[in-house]
Copies of this chain bind each other. A is one copy, B any other.
Amino acid sequence: MNRIEVCFSPGEYHLYEADFQLIVVLDVLRATSAICTAMEYGVKEIIPVATLEEARNHQAKGVLVAAERGGQIVKGFDLGNSPYSYMNPELKGQTVVLTTTNGTKAINMAKTKDTVVVGSLNNLDALCTWLIEQKRDTLILGSGWKDKFNLEDTICAGAIADKCLESGLFFADEDSTVASKFIFRSSRENMFAFLKASSHRRRLRKLNLNEDVKYCLTPNNCTAIPILKNGSLVRMNHETIENAAI
């Protein structure tokens, strides 16, 4: 039996991370949903950076840079973190540098571990199938909102934990995992309505991002599993194929 647990936000990561070398990072609204979508639509790699300064350094070298703060594209950058913007055929095969309010911080926090993968509702089944195959202790890390708990990452974490626990190959010990599973099960019939009360939904509503939210809450419209390799997120299958070709 392997263990699967949920850590609500980067601020609590130090309390949960010790026993895990496999981390699943979530930022459902919208960074990790966008990353999964980008891989699905053929973006070659995404380099997550924590600060706008790092992002500007990459931009100065001619790399395509996506930067989001507070739900909006930062002025002077090419892209934000709307999943729709990554469906653009012109991005196929490209490298994108990405910095967001919460998601890229969580990815960077986890990068000392052996394996870091990116999850969302969009790649839920593909990710869970892979996690169950791995037979490893797994920590699901929500990006939260400025280190605070958020509902949408908790629902997604609960969905992943629930599926893995149902396989009978995992157990969970933490109350955070029990609560996540419970919140997912209660919300799954209508996540959009459930999240009406969520603080981040309200934040995004003001920005007129309803279509993005609906997309991010749609399970299994992607099969790509982004994995961190040498500081870059790449699509897991593609990477395997590339390695085979070398």
Contacts and interface: CB of A to CB of B under 8 A. Distances in A.
Report the copy number of this chain in the oligomer. 2
A186 B182 contact: yes
A148 interface: yes
Q: Which one of A149, A154, A176, A200 has the greatest number of beta carbons of chain B within 10 Å? A: A149
Interface in A149-182: 149-151, 154, 173-176, 178-179, 182
A147 interface: yes
A175 B147 contact: no
Contacts of A15: 11, 146-148
The interface size bin for chain A is: 20 to 34
A149 to B, nearest CB: 5
Interface of A: 8, 11-12, 15-16, 145-151, 154, 173-176, 178-179, 182-183, 186, 197-200
A148 B12 CA distance: 8
A27 B97 CA distance: 45
A206 B173 CA distance: 15
A155 to B, nearest CB: 10
Contact of A150 (B8, B11, B154, B175): B175
14 contacts: A12-B147, A12-B148, A16-B148, A148-B176, A149-B174, A149-B175, A149-B179, A150-B175, A151-B178, A173-B199, A175-B200, A179-B179, A182-B186, A183-B183
A3 to B, nearest CB: 12
Contacts of A149: 8, 12, 149, 174-176, 179
Contact of A179 (B16, B146, B151): B151
